């Protein structure tokens, strides 16, 4: 009797990998079917191909972070602080966790573009694998397989995983946290919950407060779905919250409390890591930078991600990057409500909460906002799309009720929205819109017709409709994703990677700045200024806060990144043509222009005993030199030129002590460069070097003379 009862329960469970049966009171999870593992391997292989194809067009990715990775790979102190330059004058304006991975790769394999970018691709593939395992435990193999493929083909995720911005590591850590919480909910385990909280804290060390956005969803899933008593569950949550805070602020506390001289923390107003968290790169991203927190950028958000508001994720900048399956996700949450899936409540709360929280924060953030931030939505979109498709298929096959109509309605809504997005650029892939609309219409007709006919053979038509529906829904994002490695989309280069045609996304990118030279420079000074404008002669890789380029600001000799307006091949810093305009902005090839070579050669020949080979106004001016040579080049003002990494008094003292002789002012000078006392000091107290544009000789014997 006991065996027959067990077999009956097993048959009731069916093929659901999340169903548990018991033999002799021992829990047994059904073995994962082989096709699920093959689906995961295929999705990972496809993602790896998308991330690694045509690496020559990537160069070193974001030149600002690439320079920091090289500096950090040369010195363990620079490694810990996240220094931009080899001497450690200032840090990048993010915590260094993501750069730790790249710097370690460069230290082991030697500094190269591949050493910087390949680890990003590996982390991206790992995120897909972990997501599959998390969804498998929650909703079974079919949902997990769909989720893996959806994430692999999310356009903005393909773009960011081919770059060296910190979002890739943050997403992986958050997906790992979701996996841990999924296990915590199933087992009522405080240990798994605490591990998940620690992983969110590690994500904070990659991208600060952005990693915290999903934390309420993870904790809510445990609170409302774990099979534990309320008091015990609250204790588990309290412990996890404490671990979250401890792991999040471990690096911040270590930097601010460490005695002695330290690098200036890039992007801060007073040189502290704490100010970076609550200022420019923390609350400033949500509330706006109206107080000029470390950047003087003002409320620059709309320049990149469009105006804040309910429909921000559907605007021209963001729609093609992440919004394709949002209608399907809404239908998935409706399906969960219809079936009242108590057994899977934890996953719906976790992934649904993840989606809603990210949508709310990203939609209404007033500060600087780039399209690639939306890659944080990809795991939730993928998980909900997979689970929703399975639930809607089950509802579709149930006898009676009108809930069956949810599946064809979801397919129709998703395909129609994709057609609207594609129609915004009718000249790019003109065949795509009629193809997806035709496939979507055929899928809906097959699904509705099979259901209404109620014929035994109609099931074949329904299956065919489901397959066609899947292809119609995923076709447009897949084409946009493929445009990134193909190099024929409108991506903005290393500082603001995007997918799809030009006209989507906005100019922008990463920031940074690093450490102090031996002997150090005291920190604790503020910056400020208005929104920067690129001066004539901005070199490849130049830019403004977070890689921004003000409207109409184009360096002499072509567009940013050393490219012509038509998108032809440019000098070092450029990338393959992607429709012109901003294609190569912020991408470093590892070479120097003829003007930059003249600067570095003159400085080498005439530096004498100077410790610092060259100083530039901003980190964007120093980055090409550090990437190409790894020598002791420093930035006076961090990424955007406004950081007080070196004050005018310190500059004068360095020159007087013979530790610095040459300063280059031809590159990007930052906000209010004409009012920066440091640049004024250089231009009035130092001599312009003949035949080397933008280079000033500040040797003590010359520093008392005013140049014409």
User: Tens digit of pLDDT for each residue in 188-221?
Assistant: 999 999 999 999 999 999 999 999 999 999 999 9
Is 562:571 a contact under the CB 8 Å cutoff?
Answer: yes
pLDDT value of residue 420: 96
Beta strands in 645-691 (DSSP E): 662-664, 687-688
pLDDT value of residue 19: 47
- Cα separation, 686 vs 680, in Å, equals 10
Predicted confidence band at 673 (pLDDT cuts at 50, 70, 90)?
low
- Cα separation, 363 vs 687, in Å, equals 50
Element (H, E) at 225: helix 215-225
Three-state DSSP at 517 gives coil
Q: Which residues of 265-292 are buried (b: 16+ CB within 10 A; e: fewer)?
A: bbbbbbbbbbbbbebbbbbbbbebbeeb
Q: Which residue has the higher pLDDT, 93 or 285?
A: 93
Q: Tell the residue number behind the tokens 């021992």, with chain if given.
A: 26
Task: Return phi, psi of residue 612, to 5°.
Answer: -95, 120
Is 370:297 a contact under the CB 8 Å cutoff?
Answer: no
Predicted confidence band at 476 (pLDDT cuts at 50, 70, 90)?
very high
What value does the mean pLDDT of the chain take? 81
Three-state DSSP at 405 gives helix
Q: DSSP H helical segments within 374-457, as ranges? A: 378-397, 406-423, 432-453
Q: Tell the residue number behind the tokens 């992986």, with chain if given.
A: 172
Q: Are strands 515-515 and 89-90 parallel, antiparallel or unpaired?
A: antiparallel
pLDDT value of residue 27: 39
Is 388:413 a contact under the CB 8 Å cutoff?
Answer: no
DSSP character at residue 403: G
Is 104:67 a contact under the CB 8 Å cutoff?
Answer: no
pLDDT value of residue 286: 75
- Residue among 603, 502, 493, 609 nearest 542 (CA): 493
Q: What tokens were used for 276?
A: 């970076």
Q: Tell the residue number behind the tokens 């810990």, with chain if given.
A: 80
Is 618:512 a contact under the CB 8 Å cutoff?
Answer: no
42-53: average pLDDT: 96
Is 305:361 a contact under the CB 8 Å cutoff?
Answer: no
- Cα separation, 679 vs 21, in Å, equals 73
Predicted confidence band at 4 (pLDDT cuts at 50, 70, 90)?
very low
- Cα separation, 384 vs 508, in Å, equals 30
Strands ordered across the beta sheet of 662-664: 633-635, 614-616, 662-664, 695-697, 687-688
pLDDT at 445 over 80: yes
DSSP character at residue 497: -
Q: Are strands 662-664 and 614-616 parallel, antiparallel or unpaired?
A: parallel
Q: What percent of the chain has pLDDT over 70?
A: 78
Is 264:637 a contact under the CB 8 Å cutoff?
Answer: no
- Cα separation, 663 vs 640, in Å, equals 16
Q: Please, which residues bridge with residue 264 across strands?
A: 90
pLDDT value of residue 464: 94
pLDDT at 703 over 60: no
450-469: average pLDDT: 88
pLDDT at 584 over 70: no
pLDDT at 588 over 90: no
- Cα separation, 460 vs 480, in Å, equals 31
- Cα separation, 339 vs 354, in Å, equals 21
pLDDT value of residue 303: 54
| Neighbour count for residue 46 (Cβ, 10 Å) | 18
Which residues lie closer than 8 Å to 430 by C-beta, 6 or more apart? Answer: none
Q: Please, which residues bridge with residue 26 across strands?
A: 23
Three-state DSSP at 427 gives coil
- Cα separation, 16 vs 438, in Å, equals 33
pLDDT at 491 over 90: no
Predicted confidence band at 46 (pLDDT cuts at 50, 70, 90)?
very high
580-597: average pLDDT: 66
Q: Which residue has the higher pLDDT, 549 or 412?
A: 412
Rounded to whole angstroms, what are the CA distances from 417 to 271, 377, 411? 46, 18, 10
406-414: average pLDDT: 96
Task: Return phi, psi of residue 468, to 5°.
Answer: -65, -40
Which residues lie closer than 8 Å to 282 by C-beta, 6 or more apart? Answer: 208, 209, 276
Over the stretch 601-651, which tens digit does the pLDDT of each residue have?
999 999 988 999 999 999 989 999 999 999 999 999 888 788 889 999 999
Q: Please, which residues bridge with residue 21 across strands?
A: 28
Query: Where does residue 402 rank: exposed (0-12), middle (13-18), buried (19+ CB within 10 A)?
Result: exposed
Q: Are strands 633-635 and 614-616 parallel, antiparallel or unpaired?
A: parallel
pLDDT at 557 over 70: no
Q: Tell the residue number behind the tokens 């067009």, with chain if given.
A: 57
362-385: average pLDDT: 93
260-289: average pLDDT: 83
Q: Please, which residues bridge with residue 695 across strands?
A: 664
pLDDT at 449 over 50: yes
DSSP character at residue 585: T
Residues recorded for the chain: 708
Predicted confidence band at 322 (pLDDT cuts at 50, 70, 90)?
very high
């Amino acid at each position: 009797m006991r065996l027959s009862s067990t077999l009956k329960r097993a048959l009731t469970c069916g093929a659901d990998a999340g169903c548990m049966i018991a033999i002799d009171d021992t829990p047994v999870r059904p073995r994962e079917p082989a096709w699920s593992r093959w689906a995961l391997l295929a999705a990972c292989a496809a993602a790896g191909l998308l991330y690694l194809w045509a690496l020559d067009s990537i160069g070193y990715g974001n030149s600002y972070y690439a320079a920091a990775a090289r500096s950090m790979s040369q010195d363990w102190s620079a490694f810990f602080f996240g220094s931009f330059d080899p001497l450690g004058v200032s840090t990048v304006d993010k915590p260094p966790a993501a750069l730790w991975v790249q710097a370690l790769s460069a230290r082991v394999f030697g500094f190269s573009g591949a050493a910087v970018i390949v680890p990003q691709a590996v982390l991206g593939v790992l995120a897909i694998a972990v997501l599959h395992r998390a969804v498998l435990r929650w909703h079974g193999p079919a949902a997990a397989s769909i989720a893996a493929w959806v994430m692999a083909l999310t356009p903005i995720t393909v773009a960011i995983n081919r770059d060296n911005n910190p979002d890739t590591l943050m997403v992986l850590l958050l997906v790992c946290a979701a996996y841990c919480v999924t296990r915590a909910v199933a087992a009522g385990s405080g240990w798994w919950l605490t591990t998940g909280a620690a992983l969110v804290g590690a994500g904070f060390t990659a991208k600060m407060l952005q990693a915290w956005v999903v934390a309420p969803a993870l904790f809510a899933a445990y609170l409302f779905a774990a099979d534990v008593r309320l008091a015990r569950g609250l204790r588990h949550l309290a412990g996890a919250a404490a671990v979250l805070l401890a792991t999040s602020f471990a690096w911040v506390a270590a930097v601010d409390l460490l005695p002695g001289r330290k690098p200036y923390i890039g992007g801060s107003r007073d040189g502290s890591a704490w100010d970076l968290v609550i200022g420019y790169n923390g609350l400033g991203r949500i509330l706006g930078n109206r107080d000029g927190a470390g950047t003087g950028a003002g409320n620059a958000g709309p320049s990149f991600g469009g105006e804040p508001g309910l429909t921000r994720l559907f605007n021209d900048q963001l729609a093609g990057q992440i919004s394709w399956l949002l209608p399907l996700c809404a239908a998935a949450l409706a399906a969960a409500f219809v079936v009242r899936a108590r057994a899977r409540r934890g996953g719906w709360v976790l992934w649904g909460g993840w989606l809603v929280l990210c949508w709310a924060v990203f939609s209404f953030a007033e500060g600087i906002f780039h399209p690639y931030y939306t890659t944080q939505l990809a795991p939730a979109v993928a998980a909900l799309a997979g689970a929703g498709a399975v639930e809607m298929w089950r509802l579709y096959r149930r006898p009676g009720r009108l809930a069956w109509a949810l599946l064809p309605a979801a397919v129709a809504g998703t395909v129609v929205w994709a057609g609207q997005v594609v129609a915004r650029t009718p000249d790019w892939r003109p065949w795509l819109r009629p193809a997806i609309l035709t496939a979507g219409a055929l899928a809906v007709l097959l699904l509705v017709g099979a259901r209404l006919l109620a014929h035994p053979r109609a099931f074949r038509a329904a299956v065919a409709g489901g397959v066609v529906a899947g292809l119609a829904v995923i076709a447009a994002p897949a084409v946009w994703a493929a445009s990134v490695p193909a190099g024929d989309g409108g991506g903005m280069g290393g500082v603001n990677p995007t997918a799809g045609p030009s006209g989507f996304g906005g100019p922008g990118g990463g920031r940074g700045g690093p450490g102090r030279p031996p002997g150090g420079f005291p920190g604790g000074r503020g910056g400020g200024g208005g929104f920067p404008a690129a001066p004539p002669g901005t070199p490849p890789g130049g830019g403004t806060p977070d890689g921004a380029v003000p409207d109409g600001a184009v360096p002499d000799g072509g567009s940013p990144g050393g490219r012509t307006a038509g998108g032809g091949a440019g000098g070092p810093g450029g990338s393959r043509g992607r429709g012109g305009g901003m294609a190569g902005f912020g991408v470093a090839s590892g070479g120097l222009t003829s003007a930059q070579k003249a600067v570095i050669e003159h400085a080498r020949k005439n530096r004498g005993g100077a410790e610092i080979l060259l100083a530039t106004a901003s980190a964007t001016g120093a980055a090409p030199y550090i990437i190409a040579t790894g020598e002791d080049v420093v930035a006076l003002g961090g990424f955007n030129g406004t950081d007080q990494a070196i004050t005018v008094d310190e500059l004068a003292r360095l020159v007087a002590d013979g530790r610095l002789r040459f300063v280059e002012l031809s590159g990007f000078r930052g906000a209010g460069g004409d009012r920066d006392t440091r640049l004024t000091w250089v231009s009035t107290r130092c001599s312009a070097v003949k035949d080397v544009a933008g280079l000033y000789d500040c040797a003590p014997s010359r520093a008392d003379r005013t140049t014409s």
